[in-house]
């Protein structure tokens, strides 16, 4: 049976570290760090994510603010809101919760965010810095996985890593981070996706599999090698009328059978998700310390 990479426990520890750091700054007479979120429309998952981000801010002593905008807002009006946050000196960082309504060009919105306030690490300037091993904001989910591998002392040097999924916020940056110099990193990375032929040929040989596909229970025991490390980024709402909320959260991994064969594994929920939330706070803290010094 695999050991659990416990994102709840580790994220609590990281939040505690951030909270203590914030108190020290505030005791010295500094303002608290301030994170803002723009939420467009009423998408259920997005509302929950943003609520959680605000709760996290409160838990560590950050100031937070929320800009709620209607689904019908025009691209121009949204760009206008972003311009206001870009120049707001009271703000260390802000995020625009994705996905956006279809009539809004997501790339144009991301490009409009001041890279120094882009604590999601989605702006191409931050993506480029990440790829070139320069300082900048790392996207929260890949960053959270890196911190998890580091704190659990998972060896990555020279390991064969297979990433499943090439999204701009998880798969692609994850593949770059694992191939960068350093620890965690120094891995040999294969980035697989929907057009990959014989995916199983890759996953079967991998020392570490990081799956960010969004297909519940996709990864089966026969697809991995004995002792592999499994990181499950998938978190899909599956309808279930027996649950109070009407759904349950499913990862990409068939947990019970894969856990029996793996050496380490992240559960869903309670693995990567809480780490993602903690890394948004870490990025905001980084921006804050840049700003007040």
Q: Quick check: 97 binds ligand GUN (CB under 6 A)?
A: yes
From residue 37 to residue 76, the character string flagging contacts with ligand GUN as x (rule: CB under 6 A) and all else as - is ----------------------------------------
Q: What is the DSSP letter of 34?
A: E
Q: Quick check: 281 binds ligand GUN (CB under 6 A)?
A: no
What is the sign, positive or negative, of the torsion defined by CA atoms of 36, 266, 171, 69? Answer: negative
Name the residue nearer to ligand GUN (CB basis): 25 or 247. Answer: 247
Q: Quick check: 229 binds ligand GUN (CB under 6 A)?
A: no
- How many Å apart are CA 151 and CA 5, to the nearest integer? 10
Q: Which of 67, 79, 98, 111 binds ligand GUN (CB under 6 A)?
A: 98
Which parts of 6-155 fold into alpha helices (H)? 7-27, 44-60, 75-86, 106-112, 124-131, 140-151
- Least distance in Å: CB of 73 to ligand GUN? 16
Q: Which residue is nearest to ligand GUN (CB)?
A: 98
The piece of 65-73, 94-102, 107-115, 125-133 that touches ligand GUN (CB under 6 A) is 94-102
- Least distance in Å: CB of 115 to ligand GUN? 15
- Binning the chain into helix, strand and coil, the percentages to the nearest 5 are 40, 15, 40
The piece of 92-100, 196-204, 234-242, 250-258 that touches ligand GUN (CB under 6 A) is 92-100
36 φ/ψ angles, rounded to the nearest 5 degrees: -125, 150
Q: Which of 39, 40, 60, 95 binds ligand GUN (CB under 6 A)?
A: 95
Query: CB under 8 Å to 40, separation ≥6 — which residues?
Result: 69, 70, 71, 73, 78, 96, 97, 100, 101, 104
- How many Å apart are CA 229 and CA 235, to the nearest integer? 18
Q: Quick check: 162 binds ligand GUN (CB under 6 A)?
A: no
Please state the separation of Cα 98 from the chain's center in Å. Answer: 12
The piece of 5-13, 93-101, 154-162, 264-272 that touches ligand GUN (CB under 6 A) is 93-101
The piece of 16-24, 79-87, 89-97, 214-222 that touches ligand GUN (CB under 6 A) is 89-97
- How many Å apart are CA 267 and CA 1, to the nearest integer? 13
Q: Which of 10, 18, 96, 104 binds ligand GUN (CB under 6 A)?
A: 96
**Which residue bears the tokens 């100031």?**
63
Name the residue nearer to ligand GUN (CB basis): 220 or 237. Answer: 237
Q: Quick check: 120 binds ligand GUN (CB under 6 A)?
A: yes
66 and 256 Cβ atoms separated by less than 8 Å: no
Residues near ligand GUN (CB under 6 A), total: 6
- How many Å apart are CA 242 and CA 258, to the nearest integer? 25
Q: Quick check: 118 binds ligand GUN (CB under 6 A)?
A: no
- Least distance in Å: CB of 277 to ligand GUN? 9
CA-closest candidate to residue 278, choices 4, 13, 5: 13
Q: Quick check: 140 binds ligand GUN (CB under 6 A)?
A: yes
Q: Which residues sit at the interface with ligand GUN, rule CB under 6 A?
A: 95-98, 120, 140
């Amino acid at each position: 049976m695999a050991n659990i990479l416990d994102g709840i426990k580790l994220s609590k520890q990281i939040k505690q570290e951030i909270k203590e750091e914030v108190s020290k700054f505030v005791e010295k007479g500094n303002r608290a760090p301030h994170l803002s979120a723009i939420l467009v429309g009423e998408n259920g998952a997005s509302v929950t994510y943003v609520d959680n981000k605000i709760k996290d801010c409160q838990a560590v002593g950050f100031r937070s603010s929320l800009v709620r905008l209607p689904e019908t807002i025009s691209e121009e009006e949204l760009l206008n809101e972003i311009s206001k946050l870009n120049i707001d000196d009271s703000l260390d960082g802000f995020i625009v919760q994705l996905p956006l309504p279809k009539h809004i060009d997501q790339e144009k919105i991301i490009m409009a965010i001041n890279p120094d306030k882009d604590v999601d690490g989605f702006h191409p300037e931050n993506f480029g810095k990440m790829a070139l091993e320069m300082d900048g904001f790392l996207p929260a989910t890949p960053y959270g996985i890196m911190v998890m591998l580091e704190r659990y002392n998972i060896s990555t040097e020279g390991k064969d890593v297979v990433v499943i999924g090439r999204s701009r916020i998880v798969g692609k940056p994850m593949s770059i981070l694992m191939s960068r110099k350093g620890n965690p990193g120094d891995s040999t990375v294969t980035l697989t996706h929907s057009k990959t032929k014989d995916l199983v040929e890759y996953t079967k040989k991998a020392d570490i599999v990081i799956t960010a596909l969004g297909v519940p229970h996709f990864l089966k025991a026969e697809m991995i090698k004995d002792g592999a490390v499994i990181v499950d980024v998938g978190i899909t709402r599956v309808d279930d009328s027996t649950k109070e909320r009407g759904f349950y959260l499913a990862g990409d991994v068939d947990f019970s059978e894969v856990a029996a064969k793996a050496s380490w594994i992240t559960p869903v929920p309670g693995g990567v998700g809480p780490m993602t939330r903690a890394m948004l706070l870490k990025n905001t803290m980084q921006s804050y310390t840049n700003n007040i010094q």
